[in-house]
Amino acid sequence: MSRTTHPLRIATLLADLIAPAHASVPAGTSTERMRLFATCAGRVAARIEHDWLLARGSDPVRTRLRRDLDALIEALLPITLAQGLDGARALHLRLSAKVAQAVLLQQADLGPDNTHAERARRLAHGQLSTCQALLPG
């Protein structure tokens, strides 16, 4: 768990997981949620890194989203371990999503073909928007 994540924030996020009151909190098993959170953590990390590489500065909303996703992953890990999804598999999901998102972002901003760049931009934006919609506020 990130030391900068306030315990009340984690408790609120976990309460949403247990009894989803927020429409965007995913239903399903803890393993399905772990897969989703790990994938989104990778996508968000790719975006943060991409912005840093292009000297765009940091986005506090994305930084907070990454921190919250990391806290949720850590909180779910003991449950998902019992269901067969271990930390190595969660890390693999995260890193695979990060690499895929990085490729889209690079194609969108640096690719020579405008048609492909626009398609990559839409895909990258849509995937990140889906992740941002997972958590309230």
Q: What is the pLDDT of residues 102-119, one digit of tens each?
A: 999 999 999 888 998 899
What's residue 10's pLDDT?
A: 53
At 19, is the pLDDT very low, low, confident or very high (cuts 50, 70, 90)?
very low
Mapping DSSP to helix (H, G, I), strand (E, B) and coil, where does residue 24 land?
coil
DSSP state for residue 136 in the 8-state scheme? -
DSSP state for residue 134 in the 8-state scheme? T
**What's the whole-model pTM score?**
0.79
* Alpha carbons 121 and 105: distance in angstroms, whole number: 7
Sign of CA dihedral 95, 75, 137, 7: negative
What's residue 22's pLDDT?
A: 44
Tokens of 92: 């693999």
* Average pLDDT value for residue range 22-31: 65
Q: Which residue has the tokens 């399905």?
A: 32
Q: How many CB atoms lie within 10 A of CB 89?
A: 16
Nearest to 76 by CA among 120, 124, 16: 16
